């Protein structure tokens, strides 16, 4: 595993987490700053030193989370005195005490990387020939990328994450457009028609209509007529 340690400790990365001295991983050291994440360095895990400068550690953790780079989880190293300041809003994936033993550090690093990779896989929905990657905002149909607007992408993603489930227009409006959207439910119909057009005649039936109810993503491509369409 390749580790990126972000710290201002003059002694180096292994001073941040002494157990690393006994573990077989490669390691790079960079200053504790959001700027150290741009451009994205090669790393399987980012270790943020929160044992000294909590403010800088918080900013750096938030910056790492904001990149949306799901292959690089963040492990915060926090001293006993700093635990009270640790907040989930920092965006870290796990934390460990500086004095943790090698076996604990190794296990925590392995598990946090495995969890993060599993979460990344779950962010890519696949239904038949349709694949939707939430991280890259790319939708492919039989390997061909589709040119979708942001709202079309969000609508298709929501349906694909719940294949076979029927949603009313009101539910889709609430989940995809949000509570503060004041447009009518006909907006959903317009976007459904646009999505079907972009899917093409061969695949438009992937988005099924249930008479008098709403829409669903139908893996079998079944579609029923709706007088509203």
Q: Which CATH architecture has domain 2-122?
A: 3-Layer(aba) Sandwich (3.40)
- Which pairs from 99-104 meet CB under 8 Å and 24+ separation? 99/18, 100/17, 100/19, 101/19, 102/19, 102/22, 102/23, 104/19
- Mean pLDDT, the chain, as a whole number? 86
pLDDT per residue as tens digits for the range 192-228 = 999 999 999 989 999 999 998 999 998 876 344 443 4
pLDDT at 120 over 80: no
Same fold: 2-122 with 124-217: no
d(CA 47, CA 59): 14
**In the predicted model, what is the mean pLDDT of residues 111-132?**
76
* Range of lowest pLDDT (108-117, 174-183, 190-199): 174-183
Give the start-to-end residue ranges of the domains of the chain: 2-122, 124-217
d(CA 26, CA 90): 26
Residue percentage of the chain with pLDDT more than 90: 53
pLDDT of amino acid 228:
45
Q: How far is CA 54 from each of CA 37, 47, 115, rounded to the nearest angstrom?
A: 18, 14, 25
Residue with tokens 């400068």: 53
pLDDT of amino acid 229:
43
pLDDT at 48 over 70: yes
pLDDT of amino acid 223:
40
> Cβ contacts of residue 200 below 8 Å, gap of 6+?
141
Residue with tokens 């700053």: 33
pLDDT of amino acid 18:
94
Q: Are strands 138-141 and 130-133 parallel, antiparallel or unpaired?
A: antiparallel
Q: How confident is the model at residue 122 (pLDDT cuts 50, 70, 90)?
A: low
- The dihedrals phi and psi of 216, each to the nearest 5 degrees, come to -150, 160
39: cis peptide before it, omega within 30°?
Answer: yes
Q: Specify the CATH class of 124-217 in words.
A: mainly alpha
């Amino acid at each position: 595993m390749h580790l990126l340690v972000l710290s201002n400790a003059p002694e180096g990365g292994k001073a941040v987490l002494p157990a690393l001295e006994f573990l077989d991983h490669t390691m790079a050291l960079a200053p504790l700053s959001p700027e150290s994440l741009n451009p994205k360095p090669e790393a399987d895990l980012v270790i943020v030193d929160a044992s000294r400068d909590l403010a800088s550690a918080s900013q750096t953790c938030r910056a790492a989370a904001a990149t949306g780079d799901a292959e690089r989880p963040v492990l915060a190293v926090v001293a006993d005195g700093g635990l009270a300041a640790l907040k989930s809003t920092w965006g870290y994936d796990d934390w460990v005490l500086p004095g943790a033993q090698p076996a604990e550090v190794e296990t925590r690093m392995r598990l946090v990387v495995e969890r993060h990779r599993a979460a990344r896989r779950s962010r890519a929905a696949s239904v038949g020939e349709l694949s939707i990657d939430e991280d890259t905002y790319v939708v492919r149909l039989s390997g061909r990328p589709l040119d979708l607007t942001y709202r079309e992408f969000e609508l298709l993603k929501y349906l694909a994450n719940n294949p076979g489930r029927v949603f009313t227009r009101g539910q889709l409006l609430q989940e995809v457009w949000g509570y503060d959207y004041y447009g009518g439910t006909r907006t959903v119909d317009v976007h459904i028609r646009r999505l079907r057009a972009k899917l093409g005649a061969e695949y438009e039936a992937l988005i099924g209509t249930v008479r008098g109810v709403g829409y669903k993503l139908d893996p079998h491509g079944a579609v029923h007529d709706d007088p509203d369409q």
